[in-house]
């Protein structure tokens, strides 16, 4: 490990930093700089990348510029999950950006043996992620307009709403076209990259896994480099429920983590619905769960787990899925 840790608390306009000496946690320097490219570059020139490690609490797009510049200048840096940081600190009194920067640096000194430096995904993956985020936004808009149209068509029998209905129908057509265009752009990016195309071809061969499921899995796993196994990915998706336990009691419903990726879980559930219609093996597996008294959603969740296992298997083996002959 290097000699100095720079903890940075990121906000929209500023970066509060605190530098600690690794060996004794003594405060070496602290301050504030503007969250602007020119200011960050000037500041980074003060530090030897061989001696300094940077730690940032993952705050979303406010820290994007900083991570890009750290990557470009080959600094070793860590993105810390806010939940992990909060858990490690316990109950803390007071809140200030400078104190938070100190706590971030201190967290790295304590936990560096359990953490891995962060690396930005490839440019292609970053483009795919941006396009998928836009697609998901348009899908939500489409659902909202469709729900509005259903209500307005019923209400139109009593109130004249023909103009409004026509307007929203045009919006719906436009949104659906935008979604199709985004899908086309993502496929073009994948097809132009040998590694991404190989992964896409292999995982889309899994029964039930279509275009959107394949693309979403590639994006969320950074082309299967971010997650080491299917179990961890299932936890990320919310497909791996854990028992809720209080004291000596372990009864009650199982739960999934509140930070789960709900969009990804929904996509995998749709894949599971398709799979039990077209894959005899998974259809039998689903029916067996139902016969054992499991709720339909619980049985479907189990099928989605199986699909994730298959996706990871073909991705790691780098070969298409082979359907069993029954």
Starting from the edge strand earliest in sequence, which strands make up the sheet with 76-80, in order?
A: 27-34, 14-21, 4-10, 52-57, 76-80
CA distances, 309 to each of 39, 224, 298, 305 (Å): 46, 13, 17, 6
SS3 174: helix
In a structure prediction context, what are the per-residue pLDDT tens digits for the chain, which is 326 residues long?
578 999 999 998 999 999 999 888 888 989 999 999 999 999 999 999 999 999 998 776 788 889 989 988 999 999 887 767 777 665 454 456 578 899 999 999 888 888 888 888 888 998 999 999 999 999 999 999 999 998 888 887 777 888 888 999 999 999 999 999 999 999 999 999 999 999 999 999 999 999 999 999 999 999 998 887 888 888 888 877 644 444 444 444 554 444 456 788 999 999 999 999 999 999 999 999 999 999 999 999 999 999 999 999 999 999 999 876 65
For residue 55, which of 112, 8, 12 has the smallest C-alpha distance? Answer: 8
Q: Give the residue extent of every domain in the chain.
A: 4-114, 123-192, 211-317
Q: May I ask the CATH architecture of the domain 4-114?
A: 2-Layer Sandwich (3.30)
Q: The pTM is what?
A: 0.72
């Amino acid at each position: 490990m290097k000699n100095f840790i720079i903890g940075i608390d990121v906000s929209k306009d500023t970066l509060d930093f605190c530098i600690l000496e690794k060996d004794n946690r003594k405060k070496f320097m602290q301050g504030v700089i503007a969250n602007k490219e020119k200011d960050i570059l000037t500041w980074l020139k003060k530090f030897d990348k061989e001696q300094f490690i940077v730690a940032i609490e993952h705050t979303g797009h406010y820290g994007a510029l900083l991570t890009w510049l750290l990557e470009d200048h080959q600094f070793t840096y860590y993105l810390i999950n806010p939940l992990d940081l909060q858990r490690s600190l316990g109950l803390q009194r007071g809140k200030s950006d400078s104190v938070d920067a100190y706590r971030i640096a201190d967290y790295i000194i304590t936990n560096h043996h359990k953490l891995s430096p962060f690396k930005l995904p490839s440019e292609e993956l970053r483009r795919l992620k941006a396009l998928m985020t836009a697609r998901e936004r348009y899908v939500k808009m489409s659902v909202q307009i469709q729900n509005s149209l259903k209500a307005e068509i019923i209400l139109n029998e009593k109130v004249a709403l023909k103009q409004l209905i026509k307007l929203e129908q045009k919006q719906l057509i436009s949104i659906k076209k935008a979604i199709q265009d985004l899908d086309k752009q993502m496929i073009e990016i994948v097809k132009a990259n040998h590694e991404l195309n190989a992964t896409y071809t292999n995982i889309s061969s899994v029964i039930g896994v279509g275009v959107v499921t394949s693309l979403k899995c590639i994006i969320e796993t950074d082309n299967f480099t971010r997650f080491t196994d299917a179990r961890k990915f299932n936890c990320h998706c919310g497909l791996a429920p854990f028992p809720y336990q209080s004291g000596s009691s372990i009864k009650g419903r199982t739960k999934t983590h509140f930070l789960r990726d709900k969009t990804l879980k929904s996509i995998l559930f749709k894949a599971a619905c398709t799979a039990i219609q077209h894959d005899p093996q998974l259809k039998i597996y689903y029916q067996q769960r139902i016969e054992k008294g499991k709720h339909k959603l619980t049985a479907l969740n189990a099928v989605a787990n199986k699909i994730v296992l298959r996706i990871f298997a073909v991705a790691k083996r780098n070969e298409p899925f082979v359907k069993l002959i029954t």
